[in-house]
Amino acid sequence: MREKIIGIIGGRSCSKEVEELAQKLGKRLAKVVNYLVCGGLKGVMVAVCKGFKEEGGITIGIIPGYDKNDANPYVDIVIPSGLGLARNVLVVKTADVVVALPGEYGTLSEMAYCLQFGIPVISLRSWDIKGVVKVETIDEVIKMVGRLLKGAGNEGNASP
């Protein structure tokens, strides 16, 4: 059985409030799943990776350019795609479940890819789109992620 991967999407720049939310989310998610994938750069991505790593999780960053040094310091596995924004497809296709935090059109495009590919996507204070599970708290995210991953055969990972 393959390991399950949680995907996190959100703005490359964000408010202090969203940064703190992302870091707390990362810490909590590390107790549910062992691997996290994101775009590997700044903003939501650096904050969630920091929280996830602090709790022992392994982070994967699929960056838009070719230079591994562009990834934030909390990314364990850097994948330099050289694809620019087209790497958004790879980020969501790597994940079994995606959580969207506040972001702009890049986040919106990733949510749309999730819907097109049938990847469950949870919006935590982000875009409100038909087909996306909208939640307001980290507790709601953790419960939903646990349910979705368990339904996907995730018995090997810790439960929420």
Cα separation, 85 vs 73, in Å, equals: 21
Residue 109 class from Cβ within 10 Å (0-12 exposed, 13-18 middle, 19+ buried)? middle
Using an 8 Å Cβ cutoff, are 74 and 59 in contact?
A: yes
pLDDT, tens digit, for every residue of 70-79? 999 999 999 9
Report residue 153's pLDDT band, with 50, 70 and 90 as the boundaries: very low
* Residue 33 pLDDT: 97
pLDDT, tens digit, for every residue of 115-152? 999 999 999 999 999 999 999 999 999 999 999 998 75
Task: Look at the pTM and tell me if it is higher than 0.75.
Answer: yes
Asked whether residue 157 carries a pLDDT value surpassing 60, the answer given is no
pLDDT, tens digit, for every residue of 77-126? 999 999 999 999 999 999 999 999 999 999 999 999 999 999 999 999 99
The full set of domain ranges for the chain reads 5-150
Cα separation, 27 vs 125, in Å, equals: 18
CA max distance for the chain: 38
* Residue 160 pLDDT: 31
Using an 8 Å Cβ cutoff, are 77 and 62 in contact?
A: no
What are the start-end ranges of the H helices in 98-137?
A: 105-117
Using an 8 Å Cβ cutoff, are 137 and 99 in contact?
A: no
* Residue 115 pLDDT: 98
Angle at the Cα of 44 from the Cα atoms of 43 and 47, rounded to 5 degrees: 90
Cα separation, 51 vs 111, in Å, equals: 22
pLDDT, tens digit, for every residue of 8-51? 999 999 999 999 999 999 999 999 999 999 999 999 999 999 99
DSSP code, position 9 = E
Q: What is the CATH number of domain 5-150?
A: 3.40.50.450
